[in-house]
Amino acid sequence: MDRLELIKRNVQEIVTEEELKAILETKEHPKAYVGYEPSGKIHMGHVLTVNKLLDLQNAGFEITVLLADVHAYLNQKGTLEEVRETADYNKRCFIALGLDAEKTNFVYGSDYQLSSEYMLNVLKLTQLTSLNRARRSMDEVGRQMEDPKVSQMVYPIMQAVDIALLGVDIAVGGIDQRKIHMLAREGLPSLGYKAPLCIHTPILLGLDGNKMSSSNENYISVDDSEQDIKKKMKKAFCPAGEAENNPVLELFKYHICPRYEEVVFERPEKFGGNLSCRGYDELETVFVSGELHPMDLKNGATKYMNQILETVRSVI
Ligand SMILES: N[C@@H](Cc1ccc(O)cc1)C(=O)O
């Protein structure tokens, strides 16, 4: 796979592809980052952006991971001390998932976001941003936004300033980060910084076919046991022959197939014997044709997710 193909795989949007091509031509080691609000549960949604960072690392990018403790605090996720501790756990998870501990630049928000240079930029950008826009940019990111706090209006402004002061060329994130990234693209040039490129990954469905939510734990997280995964997969929504809105197929598309050249579904002879697929497209075709039963797909997902998470569990 060439560099551009690797960067584009499983991505929902690149803003803009022309800019990406230009940067690939001029820089051998462009810089990209993702920021994460520290979370007690690192789930397959987080892992999707980690996978993209791995692709970028393999494409020669320099990677920064922002452990956004101050952002989590501003977004009502706990005290600064609590979120900082969770950030340490998250760093261990990300390394276990394959990010090179030596080559990846892990940064805590609180280590630089309280400096006067940073704060002055934040204040300048607050002065250029309407309250309405700041609020809208938090639509898919903010907690309890029926009664937003002022801290949650500062949040997107700080995220924009992060991009400038971390000195990255590319901001990576789920498509839910889009409005904040657009604010950064528009606002940063007025502060004398360049507009960042953005790479947005899709947002995964929950295993029940609804939005992922911690209240009904409808997702796989990296600390799930083999038993947890079995149970969750058994209950998972997996409509026969359907490729759209199928969370089990999504696991193959975004997590399993990128890690395995070939996947094998083990079936007794009377159900057609073992079936193997090379690459996600082939698997989707086979599933849509009805040749592969949802039960077999789920069993396969259980096997591979366990293999992937085995190594992670053993080190976190
Ligand atoms: N907004 C991100 C977290 C984040 C914070 C600061 C950043 O600079 C980048 C990302 C989230 O929803 O989890």
pLDDT surpasses 90 at 227: yes
Residues 48 and 92 in one domain: yes
CATH number, domain with residue 297: 1.10.240.10
Domain assignment present for 209: no
The whole-angstrom separation of Cα 122 and Cα 179 is: 17
Residues 165 and 70 in one domain: yes
Mean pLDDT of all residues in 180-208: 98
CATH number, domain with residue 118: 3.40.50.620
How far are the Cα atoms of 51, 67, 219, 221, 313 from residue 43, in angstroms, in the given order? Answer: 12, 16, 7, 4, 13
pLDDT > 90 fraction of the chain, expressed in percent and rounded: 97
pLDDT surpasses 90 at 239: yes
Domain assignment present for 234: yes
Residues 132 and 230 in one domain: no
What does the pLDDT read at residue 315?
A: 87
Residues 141 and 37 in one domain: yes
In total, how many domains does the chain have? 2
Ligand 1 midpoint to CA 297 (Å): 34
How far are the Cα atoms of 3, 39, 41, 88, 245 from residue 81, in angstroms, in the given order? Answer: 40, 13, 17, 11, 39
Domain assignment present for 210: no
Ligand 1 midpoint to CA 42 (Å): 14
Q: Is the CB of 129 under 6 A from ligand 1?
A: no
Residues 177 and 85 in one domain: yes
Residues 149 and 41 in one domain: yes
Domain assignment present for 289: yes
pLDDT surpasses 90 at 216: no
Mean pLDDT of all residues in 33-51: 97
Residues 294 and 239 in one domain: yes
Q: Is the CB of 113 under 6 A from ligand 1?
A: no
pLDDT surpasses 90 at 255: yes
What does the pLDDT read at residue 132?
A: 98
Q: Which residues are annotated as a binding site?
A: 33, 155, 159, 162, 177, 214
Domain assignment present for 219: no
Q: Is 230 helix (H, G, I), strand (E, B) or coil?
A: helix
Residues 194 and 231 in one domain: no
pLDDT > 70 fraction of the chain, expressed in percent and rounded: 100
Domain assignment present for 190: yes
Residues 188 and 277 in one domain: no
pLDDT surpasses 90 at 74: yes
Q: Is the CB of 152 under 6 A from ligand 1?
A: no
Per the structure, the complete domain to which residue 72 belongs is given by 3-201
Residue 265 pairs in a beta bridge with 275
pLDDT surpasses 90 at 20: yes
pLDDT surpasses 90 at 67: yes
- pLDDT, one tens digit per residue, over 103-150 is 999 999 999 999 999 999 999 999 999 999 999 999 999 999 999 999
Residues 139 and 231 in one domain: no
Mean pLDDT of all residues in 195-208: 98
Domain assignment present for 298: yes
Q: Are 274 and 264 in contact (CB under 8 A)?
A: yes
In terms of C-beta distances under 8 Å and separation of at least 24 residues, what long-range contacts does 144-148 make, across chains too? Answer: 144/76
Residues 191 and 260 in one domain: no
Domain assignment present for 256: yes
Residues 185 and 284 in one domain: no
- pLDDT, one tens digit per residue, over 275-302 is 999 999 999 999 999 999 999 999 999 9
